[in-house]
């Protein structure tokens, strides 16, 4: 989660607060006029985000001495409380050729940082990944600001005199390719007029992060829920030969519970926190052995995608941990005609994510879904050795196991959602 704060000068109070929202800032802290926010207020905001389930907190600080000191103190205090915190200093002012030891000031380029860091956090990037990306981008970012009128502290005279007249800033054509232009009142001023121009070197990945927010996890969950509701009767039909015919109903109950939760909650940016929430929902709303097994899987998996670990390798580890928990406590193994016959082949395939290049990750996910589908289909020829189906005569079990079919459908829904969002 991203936290930004500053003194309340030049209208910055409204600027930072207005960027709090999905895909941008999680919180903003304001100080008094020409004063940095106190460390106690900053620490309170950090702890609030931590208690809400943040894997880590990134402090975005403009390069002013008071801001650096107060945010630095709050960061150290938060670390002493066990919170993962990092700080990015924005210093992109181009007004001075030689800014001296104090460095360049932080200006409107901060808004770019809000967008980039917020988009990466929403996608599940780790704190280290976000800091590295923002630091890289800031090296190629510069702002030139021009005052068109003086400002004043309330109750005081203007800080300088500026005679009326036109002001012109001469620019030359340097042949720079402009990929995108954003013009507006992104960071306004108190009692003064001015303009600023911020330039940022951008590659394809940076421009993607500047695009509209794609709530990845929310859309994945919605697709999974829709799929389970569509397959309700198919799963019930498969279950009538081997159980009590309610496999589709129990999965539909879980899907409706998740849909209801999505309507009233913000999806946590920390994947581990999200999996823990889902574990509680299926345990309470799904019920039965299926609810317990899914809850076991999600709870064990959650530990592998916390504290900022949400990359492809971490998800592969989470999948493996979840399947191992189901095997350990459920007693079933691959080949016993259960959901593990779809889940385990997929988990094995996903272990390849630990060494795959970024471009090959989607191919591995596609292969994992195909192996899950094949595993589910293979259960029609297996002898049931676990669950209620193990009490049924083998000659009656001629159709695939409903639990395995449900798992394959869930994984395919995840894949289709991610493919759709990549387009």
DSSP string, 270-318: SHHHHHHHHHHHHHHHT-HHHHHHHHHHHHHHHTTS-TT--SHHHHHHH
> Residue 106 and residue 127: Cα distance in Å, rounded?
21
Q: What is the mean pLDDT of the chain?
A: 83
Q: Can you give the CATH number for the domain in which 377 is found?
A: 1.25.40.340
Q: Is the pLDDT of residue 171 over 80?
A: no
What percent of the chain is predicted at pLDDT more than 70? 81
H or E stretch at 197: strand 194-200
332 and 271 in one domain? yes
- Yes or no: say if 253 and 291 are a contact pair by the CB < 8 Å rule: no
240 and 378 in one domain? yes
What's the pLDDT band for 174 if we cut at 50, 70, 90? low
204 and 256 in one domain? no
Region at 252 (left for phi over 0; alpha for psi -120 to 50; beta for the rest): alpha
Which tokens belong to 274?
């999200």
Encode pLDDT of 185-211 as tens digits: 777 766 667 777 888 888 888 887 887
Q: What is the pLDDT of residue 20?
A: 85
User: Other CB atoms closer than 10 Å to residue 146's CB: what's the count?
Assistant: 13
184 and 230 in one domain? no
Residue 167 lies in a domain: no
- Yes or no: say if 225 and 259 are a contact pair by the CB < 8 Å rule: yes
- Yes or no: say if 107 and 93 are a contact pair by the CB < 8 Å rule: yes
The total of structural domains in the chain comes to: 2
199 and 315 in one domain? no
288 and 344 in one domain? yes
Q: What is the pLDDT of residue 11?
A: 36
Residue 157 lies in a domain: no
The CA-atom distances, in angstroms, between 346 and each of 268, 304, 326, 360, 422 are 26, 17, 14, 16, 21
337 and 224 in one domain? yes
**Tokens 């340097």, residue located:** 174
Widest CA span in the chain:
96
138 and 241 in one domain? no
Residue 344 lies in a domain: yes
Last residue of some domain: 194, 209, 224? 209
- Which domain covers residue 38, as residue numbers? 2-148+180-209
Residue 401 lies in a domain: yes
**CA within 13 Å, CB half, 126:** 16
Residue 173 lies in a domain: no
Of 79-93, 209-223, 352-366, give the range with the top mean pLDDT.
79-93
Residue 162 lies in a domain: no
- Yes or no: say if 369 and 319 are a contact pair by the CB < 8 Å rule: no
220 and 199 in one domain? no
Residue 156 lies in a domain: no
Last residue of some domain: 209, 226, 260? 209
Q: What is the pLDDT of residue 272?
A: 84
188 and 223 in one domain? no
Cα–chain center distance at 326: 27
H or E stretch at 260: helix 247-264
Q: Is the pLDDT of residue 157 over 60?
A: yes
Last residue of some domain: 190, 209, 228? 209
Encode pLDDT of 263-304 as tens digits: 988 777 678 888 999 999 999 999 888 899 999 999 999 988
Q: Can you give the CATH number for the domain in which 17 is found?
A: 3.40.50.10440
Q: What is the pLDDT of residue 12?
A: 44
Residue 286 lies in a domain: yes
Of 42-51, 141-150, 155-164, 393-402, give the range with the top mean pLDDT.
42-51
User: Other CB atoms closer than 10 Å to residue 131's CB: what's the count?
Assistant: 18
Which tokens belong to 50?
């931590």
Q: What is the pLDDT of residue 100?
A: 76
β pairing state of 194-200 and 141-147: antiparallel
339 and 283 in one domain? yes
347 and 204 in one domain? no
Angle at which helix 271-285 crosses helix 312-330, to 10 degrees, equals 30
User: Other CB atoms closer than 10 Å to residue 139's CB: what's the count?
Assistant: 9
Angle at which helix 402-422 crosses helix 340-350, to 10 degrees, equals 40
What's the pLDDT band for 391 if we cut at 50, 70, 90? very low
> Residue 420 and residue 423: Cα distance in Å, rounded?
6
């Amino acid at each position: 989660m991203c936290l930004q704060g500053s003194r309340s000068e030049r209208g910055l109070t409204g600027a930072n607060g207005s960027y709090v929202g999905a895909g941008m800032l999680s919180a903003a802290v304001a100080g008094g006029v020409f004063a940095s926010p106190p460390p106690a207020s900053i620490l309170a905001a950090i702890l609030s985000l931590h208690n809400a389930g943040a894997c880590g907190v990134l402090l975005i600080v403009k390069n002013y001495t008071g801001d650096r000191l107060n945010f630095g103190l709050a960061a150290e205090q938060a670390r002493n409380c066990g919170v993962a915190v990092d700080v990015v200093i924005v210093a992109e002012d181009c007004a001075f050729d030689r800014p001296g030891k104090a460095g360049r000031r932080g200006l409107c380029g901060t808004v770019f940082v809000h967008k980039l860091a917020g988009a990466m956090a929403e996608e599940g990037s780790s704190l280290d990944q976000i800091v590295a990306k923002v630091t890289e981008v800031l090296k190629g970012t510069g702002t030139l600001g021009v005052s068109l009128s003086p400002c004043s502290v309330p109750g005081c005279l203007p800080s300088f005199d500026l005679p009326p007249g036109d002001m012109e800033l001469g620019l030359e054509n340097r042949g720079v390719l402009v990929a995108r232009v954003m013009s507006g009142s992104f960071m306004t001023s108190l009692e003064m007029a001015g303009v600023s121009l911020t330039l940022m070197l951008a590659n394809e990945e940076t421009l993607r992060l500047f695009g509209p927010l794609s709530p990845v996890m929310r859309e994945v969950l919605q697709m999974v829920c829709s799929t389970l509701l569509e397959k309700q009767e198919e799963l019930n039909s498969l279950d009538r030969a081997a159980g009590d015919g309610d496999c589709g109903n129990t999965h539909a109950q879980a899907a409706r519970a998740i849909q209801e939760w999505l309507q009233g909650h913000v999806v946590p940016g920390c994947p581990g926190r999200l999996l823990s929430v889902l574990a509680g929902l299926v345990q309470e709303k799904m019920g039965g052995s299926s609810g317990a097994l899914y809850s076991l899987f999600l709870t064990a998996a959650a530990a592998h995608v916390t504290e900022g670990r949400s990359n492809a390798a971490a998800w592969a580890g989470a999948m493996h941990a979840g399947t191992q928990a189901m095997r350990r406590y459920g007693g079933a193994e691959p080949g016993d005609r259960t959901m593990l016959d779809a889940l385990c082949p997929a988990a094995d395939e996903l272990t390849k994510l630990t060494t795959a290049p970024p471009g090959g990750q989607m191919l591995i996910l596609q292969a994992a879904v195909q192996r899950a589908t094949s595993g589910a289909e293979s259960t029609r020829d297996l002898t049931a050795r676990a669950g209620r189906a193990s009490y049924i005569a083998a000659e009656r079990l001629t159709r695939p196991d409903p639990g395995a079919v449900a798992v394959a459908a869930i994984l395919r829904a995840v894949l289709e959602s991610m493919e759709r969002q990549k387009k």
